[in-house]
Structure 1
Amino acid sequence: MPTYTYRCDRSHRFDEVHAMSSVPDESPCPECGSSARRRPSAPHLSATGSPAYGLMDAAAKSAHEPQVVSALPGSPRRPGTGVTRHPLHAKLPRR
């Protein structure tokens, strides 16, 4: 559900979560109790599940806990890996 930002006359700001079908234009301020109007705000976009999000997490984590690797990046594969058993691949030309 989307998050909506509200601000009262005393400039207190707070966020509330509402279904898009039932968003109130005004809500009581939790700090002073006065009526607060809904303010336009930027959408909270998320890249959850995307490769970019995973890359950003890995980069942030490696800043404090470097990843231990057993081979250089881009090093040749060991012989015997990448063998396919699919019968149609047997018809492909060999190197």
Structure 2
Amino acid sequence: MPLYAFRCPEGTEFDRTYPMSEVPASVDCPACGATARRRMSAPRLSVAGSAAYRLIDSTTATAHEPQVVTSLPGAGPRGGAGARVTRNPLHQKLPRP
């Protein structure tokens, strides 16, 4: 859907997405509630492919509907992640949790 730009008499500018057949000439400003008129702007066309759109949609969805974590990342079926062992002597100087 196309993105349309609006501006209220107070100077607040914001964008809204509407289907081309249903775009209004004016909407209420989210900041002050005044009637904001649609302003002329350059078309916002995208050259992104379908994979990019899927990524954008999934990122937007996770911002509002995060997944529930049931175990620690890398945890095995028994629930323990196991301690990683390093042989680097410099790592021995690091603080332990």
TM-score scaled by length of structure 1: 0.50
- Larger radius of gyration between Structure 1 and Structure 2: 1
